[in-house]
Amino acid sequence: MGSDRVASISGLLRTAMDEHAALSAQTKDLTKAAQLAALERRIELLRKQQLAAMNVTLKVPVLPDLEKSGS
C-alpha cells in the first residue's frame, strides 16, 4: 500500500521535473516564467509528500527508552 503511494508520487515528481526542464529552456516569456515558478512549488510539494510516504513505508523500530527500563 505505502509503496504504491511512493511509486505514484515518484511518477508525478518525474513528470513535473520533465515539464520543469522543458519550460526552463523558454523562461524569457513571462507566462512561461510563472508556469515555471508554479512547477517549482509543485515539485517541492511532491518531494515532501514522497518523503512522508517513504517514512510511512520504511518504519524504523523504536528503541526502548533506557532511562525508563532502569539501565
User: Distance between CA 20 and CA 39 in Å, rounded?
Assistant: 6
Q: Which residue has the cell 526542464?
A: 21
Provide the sign of the torsion angle of the four alpha carbons 35, 41, 44, 45, taken in this order: negative
Grid look-up 509528500 returns 49
19-60: pLDDT as tens digits: 888 877 776 677 777 888 888 899 888 888 888 887 765 555
pLDDT-derived band at 67 (thresholds 50, 70, 90) equals low
Q: How far apart are CA 52 and CA 57, in angstroms?
A: 9
For the chain, what are the domain ranges?
2-56
- Which among 20, 45, 46, 25 is positioned nearest to 35, based on CA atoms? 20
